[in-house]
Amino acid sequence: MASAFVFSQNMTRYDYGPWHPLRIERLELTLRLMEAYGLLGGQEVSMVAPQPAERKTLERFHSSPYLDALQAANTGKPFPGLEQFGIGPGDNPVFQGMYDWSCLVAGASLEAGRLVAEGKAQVAFNMGGGLHHARPARASGFCYVNDPVLVILSLLDRGFKVAYLDIDAHHGDGVQWAFYDTDRVLTISLHQDGRTLFPGTGAVEEVGRGPGTGFSVNIPLWPGTDDWLYLRAFEEVVLPILEAYKPDVVVTQLGVDTFHGDPLASLDLTTYGFERLIQQMKKSFPRWVALGGGGYELTNVARAWTIAWGIMIGREVPDEIPQEAMELLKAHGYAKDRLRDDYLWPLARRDVAEEFLETTIHRIKKTIFPVHGL
């Protein structure tokens, strides 16, 4: 069964603005690195061009007044009243084509979901997706349309049992709240502790409400969490819960702002840990809809998502970067030492992170595990 790479070159034609941390050029950089490794051809790879999502599809989650505002702002010209929808200077700027961009990203994620649901791909990857902060009537955290929620809703419509796993440094709040009151979706988020990072949510105590109690799982991590601590959280908490829940499909948000050197977060992952994390996913997930997410050091993003895609299609990505791609990465500030697994992190910071994780795992095993018969 082929693995589907869902992408449109039109995704690279938008720009949040010269001073905004979310650089759309990271998609082009990742694409070029994948091409240099020869990862976008072969019988096991299906290249799929998506269509933009229609407004009626966006209305499954987003309110009509909010979508009206997004459409009106598509010209790139701000106007009074946008602030009530979280749109304006700062995180969620007005830029030309913002509604078109949002529809295209959502359409790509929905296409990835459709391909997996119909058995045309075991895994489908939309690296432009994963905009997990958007709320029904408000933009948040660089996100205007919540494509993970739309994908999950489409899978539920088909009768699938769905789990959502978010490994972005920022808590997957928009997706969590969308399904907070139901046991129809299991949401799991590993993220930097909300007391130290936007959006300030994702505490262990956020476990769901009513029939959803025990189906929202939050694993906050202290700044300084490295590969080994992150993998421990994944193996001791995430895998057992997923195994007990037995989803038909897993939707993942693969943000890589968890990496050491990311300008917006303070975790210490490297490609070493990330690669092993994705290998675990490949081995454990029955069907997999993979979405992108955060990542604000561009060469980290390109390297990490290239490794992830290689694992998804069963090909090894050598440590040595092809020369033509290396020149491109260097032009964007690539420094190999930033990604080495043997970098010596400050031990005091790591000790605090380890103690914090111990407490987190204990609390989850006490509150969440019993709900799932663990």
Mean per-residue pLDDT for 238-247? 98
Confidence of residue 326 (pLDDT cuts 50, 70, 90): confident
Task: Domain of residue 297: give its range.
Answer: 3-372
pLDDT over 60 (residue 337)? no
pLDDT over 90 (residue 198)? yes
pLDDT over 50 (residue 342)? no
Note every long-range contact of 236-239, with CB atoms under 8 Å and residues 24 or more positions apart, other chains counting: 236/361, 237/361, 237/364, 237/365, 238/165, 238/188, 238/190, 239/280, 239/284
Mean per-residue pLDDT for 262-270? 94
What are 13-46's pLDDT values in tens digits?
Answer: 999 999 999 999 999 999 999 999 999 998 899 9
Please state, for a pLDDT cut of 70, what percent of the chain lies above it: 96
pLDDT over 70 (residue 344)? no
Confidence of residue 349 (pLDDT cuts 50, 70, 90): confident
Q: Which of 1-5, 40-44, 204-208, 315-319 has the highest mean pLDDT?
A: 204-208
What are 161-194's pLDDT values in tens digits?
Answer: 999 999 999 999 999 999 999 999 999 999 999 9
pLDDT over 90 (residue 336)? no
**Residue 165's domain is classified under what CATH number?**
3.40.800.20
325 or 11: whose pLDDT is higher? 11
pLDDT over 90 (residue 338)? no
The residues that are catalytic are 133
Confidence of residue 348 (pLDDT cuts 50, 70, 90): low
Mean per-residue pLDDT for 102-110? 98
Note the pLDDT of residue 325: 85
pLDDT over 90 (residue 343)? no
Confidence of residue 11 (pLDDT cuts 50, 70, 90): very high
Note the pLDDT of residue 295: 97
| Number of domains composing the chain | 1
What is the pTM for the complete model shown?
Answer: 0.96
Note the pLDDT of residue 354: 95
User: d(Cα 295, Cα 316) in Å, to the nearest integer?
Assistant: 23
